[in-house]
Structure 1
Amino acid sequence: MTRDNILRAGVLVWLTAVWVALWGQISPANVLAGFMVGLVIMVTLPLPRIPVRGRLRLLPLIRLVAASVYYALESSLQLAWFALRPGPPPVSGVLRVRFAFRSDLVLVLCTNLLNLIPGTMVLEIDRQQCVVYVHVIDIGSEKAVASFYRTIRHIERLLIAGLENRATPLPPPDTPEEVRS
């Protein structure tokens, strides 16, 4: 069995499981119906092939998951503090980030990770330049901006180590090109 067929079978099993979960009842009829709906979806709405380069490395991916959970918790606590503290709301704005990824898949994974971190939201992606524009809740000081870029570079290094074979040299540290809200 080829890698593509294994992936297709995995997607079909996933679609079947989602169908059964949506119905909330495991029965032969639900499993068969989910299998048939999954087949129809896969035949009528095929996903485009995404070229995958590089190799999957488990240790950097475990580090990436741990770092993502840490950054999400840290950011959640920071947002809670902003909500509870007396005083004006923090200065928010949009920062530009250039990545050294070669893969569209890794770029999508990175933007999804950034969107999962409270206080950040990817607003625009320039795929050709591998640049994203991220709305950040706190850019009121140079320290806050530098902390944001440190977080981004750490996630980038872990994604490259875990998923890409090699990367272009990392871009120079970003200058705070910000658009204040």
Structure 2
Amino acid sequence: MIRRGMRHLPMIVWLWLLWVLLWGSASRVVLLGGLLVATVVVAAFSLPPVLTGTVPRPLRVARLLVHLMADLVKSGTIVAWQVLRHGGKTSTAIVEVPLSVDSDLLITAVAEVSTMTPGTLVAEIDRRRRRLYVHALPVRDQRDIDRRKSEVRAVERRVVRAVGRGRTARNRSVPGRPEDT
């Protein structure tokens, strides 16, 4: 029972924090009530453990957030310039990006962090083939496509380093992707 509770501790903490944020108060009633509600929800519903086999690393999470902020500023500037310069005629593309991770949590995290940066939107996730289809702008040539792929792969590496080991496919072949050497 205690072991099951420990596996679900990240979900309990997340639900509890969400409860407190939604109430907008840190009173004793809200804190205790939120903890009670989060525990009951996790106990009543058979939710999968959130961080199976992963160990969050606070310094790496901080580094991920710093990179995200830098990406937001850089890409926001690029998107604003493209809109001012080209308006609705900005060139775009859907870029297929193979992933190495094989965990729903990590794939979702990579997709979310990639989508947060302006000029990039994950249009589709192919879970079976471990692919993200990213709508990107501006894209003028193959070099821009390759740059977008490498940016998403860099996000993937930072997410894996930040949230733990996760099951990666580095030692397995990914269909349509040359092996990393």
Calculate the TM-score normalised by the size of structure 1. Answer: 0.74
CA RMSD of aligned residues (A): 3.1
- Aligned residue number for residue 117 of structure 1: 117
TM-score by length of 2: 0.74
What residue in structure 2 maps to residue 30 of structure 1?
A: 30
Per-residue deviation at 1:108? 1.5
Figure out how many residues of one structure are paired with residues of the other and give that number.
Answer: 173
Correspondent of 1:172 among 145, 166, 178: 178
Q: What letter matches 2:105 in structure 1?
A: L
Would you say the 8 A contact 2:79–2:138 is kept in 1? no
Partners in 2 of 1:21 and 1:55 — Cα distance? 25
Give the 3-state SS of the residue equivalent to 1:95 in structure 2: strand
1:54 & 1:9 partners in 2: Cα distance? 13
Identity %: 27
Q: Distance in 1 between matches of 2:17 and 2:58?
A: 26
In 2, Cα distance between the equivalents of 1:159 and 1:93?
Answer: 24
Q: Deviations over 1:91-112 (max 9, x none)?
A: 1121111111132222111111
- The letter for the 1-side match of 2:178 is P
Contact 2:92 2:135 in 1 (8 A): yes
In 2, are the aligned partners of 1:72 and 1:117 still within 8 Å (CA)?
yes
Check if 1:83 corresponds to 2:89. Answer: no
Q: Give the deviation of 1:51 after TM superposition.
A: 6.9
Which stretches in structure 1 are left out of the alignment for 5+ residues?
Answer: 174-181
**Structure 2: unaligned runs, 5 residues or longer:** none
From the superposition, tell whether residues 141 and 38 of structure 1 become closer, same or farther in structure 2 (CA, over 3 Å).
Answer: same
